[in-house]
Amino acid sequence: MKRVVITGLGAITPLGNTVTEFWENIVAGKSGAAPITKFDSSKFKTQFACEVKNFHPEEFLEKKEIRKYDLFTQYAIAASDQAIQDAGLDFAQMSEAERYEVGVIWGTGNGGIGTFEEQLREFHSGDGTPRFNPFFIPKMIVDIAAGVISIRHKLYGPNYCTVSACASSNTAIISAFDTIRMGKASIMVAGGSEAAITESSVGGFSSAQALSKRNDHPETASRPFDQDRDGFVMGEGAGALILEELEHAVKRGARIYAEMVGGGMAGDAYHLTGTSSNGLGAALGMEKALRDAQLTPNQIDYINAHATSTGIGDLSELNGVKKVFDAVPVTISATKSMTGHLLGAAGAVESIISVMAVKEDIIPPTINTQNLDPAIPEGLELVLNKSISKPLHYVLNNTFGFGGHTASSIFKKYTD
């Protein structure tokens, strides 16, 4: 099978709207959490989130286009445009036949939930006559970001959306990886976006007792592995990666960040929203990724954990890690302590972190963890409070979603 490399990155996040700014803040251990500004949250039990700051869609889109697209699609366009430019790709200069070999796979969990809320409010505030915006459906449906990226750049290769809750964008990246190595495309734009800091989304997760309620100190609320963790902090944004067949990338002189060498997906088959305490689903996904990459556990230098700062979820994942890695010392950190949980975009944003980590030999920290949960399995090396420098050859990125979806991807330091 063909080898696949990463040649471009793009990010719209609570910690910066470029990869450079985002990575600098991640390494510095900054938090993106603050009081919610998108709506009046005073009546909600949770009144904070990790919002994207200083996002100006007019920098990427014309005014008439902005009206056509939900915020999750605007984030997708901004991140994918960045990644395409970063990869040194000019699709306008490619022949139509070349663009037949370029595709888009984009993940999201909630799609245009903001548009859905807005339209229903307008309907119920009127006289009952069913008047809806003609762009209501195309703004709302989850596949539209993938479609818009394809249309925007005239890309005729495989084009679809992956929806596996919080594993959605990692699933998209693994799918893009498989597409290229099987020879079905030469370049894929892959990633995910989410814009779910809305009343219904925050209210729904809050009612499910999933969100932290540390309203007085939001910047310290996301605290994976801490015995006092009380739920995740919602985030938003987008991450985009350009995956490219190695020979194609080398031929055009592309800069290569890292090589992708494996991906594993599995089902926890346990519960609607929870994960099995023994970590079976997490373990299966990681084992499949290792087999796919033809690696042994002792070759993985760092795991970017899914760890959302929920009681059951954090322990479940670490139990899964313990199953797979057993006595092998493996270094782990949870970057959601800084970004919050970007839901369907989490896997893409954390893939960017994983790629930058293996490129720069830096492991970002888990911040806010002051008192380790005594139930955490022994023998795991957790990076707390400060980044560390360490030679990295292979990095594994975990994501899990409601419904038992698990996805693990592996990135390798690229050498000629």
165 and 109 in contact (C-beta within 8 Å)?
yes
- Determine the structural domain holding residue 339 and report its residue range: 262-412
Rounded CA gap, 353 and 355, in Å?
6
Whether residues 152 and 29 fall in one domain: yes
Split at pLDDT 50, 70, 90, the class of 277 is: confident
Which residue reads 């395409």 in tokens? 84
Helix (H) or strand (E) holding 259: strand 258-267
112 part of a folded domain: yes
Under a CB-based contact definition with an 8 Å cutoff, are residues 179 and 166 in contact? Answer: no
The whole-number pLDDT of residue 320 equals: 96
And the tokens for 335?
């970057």
Give residues with Cβ within 8 angstroms of 42, minimum separation 6: none
Based on the domain organization, do 377 and 397 belong to the same domain?
yes
CATH number, residue 39: 3.40.47.10
Q: Which residues are catalytic?
A: 166
Query: In the chain, how many domains are there?
Result: 2
Instruction: Please compute the mean of the pLDDT values over residues 187-201 and round it to a whole number.
Output: 98
Are residues 189 and 268 part of one domain? no
pLDDT higher than 90, residue 158: yes
Shared-domain flag, residues 207 and 292: no
Integer distance in angstroms from the first to the last C-alpha of the chain?
18
Q: What is the pLDDT of residue 275?
A: 83
In terms of domains, do 216 and 319 share one?
no
pLDDT at 271: 87
Q: Of the candidates 218, 251, 284, which is a domain's last residue?
A: 251
CA–CA dist 203, 378 (Å, integer) = 36
Average per-residue pLDDT for the chain: 96
Q: Report the C-alpha gap between 277 and 266 in whole angstroms.
A: 16
> Does residue 126 carry a pLDDT above 80?
no
Mean local confidence (pLDDT), 137-155: 97
- As given in the structure block, the two tokens for residue 50 are 């990790």
DSSP state letter for 235: B
Domain annotation covers residue 318: yes
User: Is 160 a member of any domain?
Assistant: yes
Percent of the chain with pLDDT over 70: 99
Where does a domain end: 251, 271, 299? Answer: 251
Are 214 and 289 members of one domain? no
In a shared domain, residues 340 and 207: no
Mark whether 49 and 181 lie in a shared domain. Answer: yes
* Arithmetic mean of pLDDT, 325-341: 95
Mean pLDDT of all residues in 26-55:
97
Same domain as 318, residue 205: no
CA nearest to 350, candidates 328, 335, 364: 335
0.85 exceeded by the pTM?
Answer: yes
Same domain for 242 and 271? Answer: no
CA–CA dist 21, 145 (Å, integer): 24
Residue with tokens 């903001």: 114
Neighbour-count burial for 54-85, b at 16+ CB within 10 Å, e otherwise: ebebeebbeeebeebbbbbbbbbbbbbbbbbe
The pLDDT score that the predictor gives to residue 111 is 97
Question: How large is the average pLDDT for residues 235-256?
Answer: 98
Torsion of CA 108, 304, 274, 232, to 10 degrees: -80
Read off the tokens for 310.
């929920």
Written as one letter, the residue type at 275 is T
CA distance 412 to 358: 7
In a domain, 256, yes or no: no
DSSP lists the bridge partners of residue 358 as: none
- Residue 398 sits at φ, ψ, to 5 deg, of -105, 140
Whether residues 310 and 221 fall in one domain: no
Band (pLDDT 50/70/90 cuts) for residue 128 is low
Question: What would the pLDDT profile of 278-315 be if each residue is shown by its tens digit?
Answer: 889 999 999 999 999 999 999 999 999 999 999 999 99
Burial (0-12, 13-18, 19+ Cβ within 10 Å), 350:
buried
Residue 69 domain flag: yes
Q: Which residues are registered as beta bridge partners of 12?
A: 238
Q: Which of 354, 408, 6 is nearest to 170 (CA)?
A: 408
Model confidence at 129: pLDDT above 80: no
- Select from 220, 251, 282 the last residue of a domain: 251
Taking 90 as the threshold, does the pLDDT of residue 127 lie above it?
Answer: no
Beta-carbon contacts of 151 under 8 Å, excluding residues fewer than 6 positions away, are none
DSSP states along 12-73: EBTTBSSHHHHHHHHHHT----EE--SS--TTSS--EEB---S--GGGTS-HHHHHHS-HHH
Q: Do the domain assignments include residue 408?
A: yes
**Total residue length of the chain:** 416
Query: What percentage of residues in the chain have a pLDDT greater than 90?
Result: 91
Same domain, 213 and 327: no
Q: Is the dihedral of CA 157, 161, 162, 168 positive or negative?
A: positive
Supply the pLDDT for residue 332.
98
Q: Dmax over Cα atoms in the chain, in whole Å?
A: 66
Question: In sequence order, what are the beta bridge partners of 16?
Answer: 13
Bridge partners for 106 per DSSP: 161, 191
Q: Is residue 301 part of a domain?
A: yes
Q: What is the pLDDT of residues 3-35, one digit of tens each?
A: 999 999 999 999 999 999 999 999 999 999 999
197 within domain boundaries:
yes
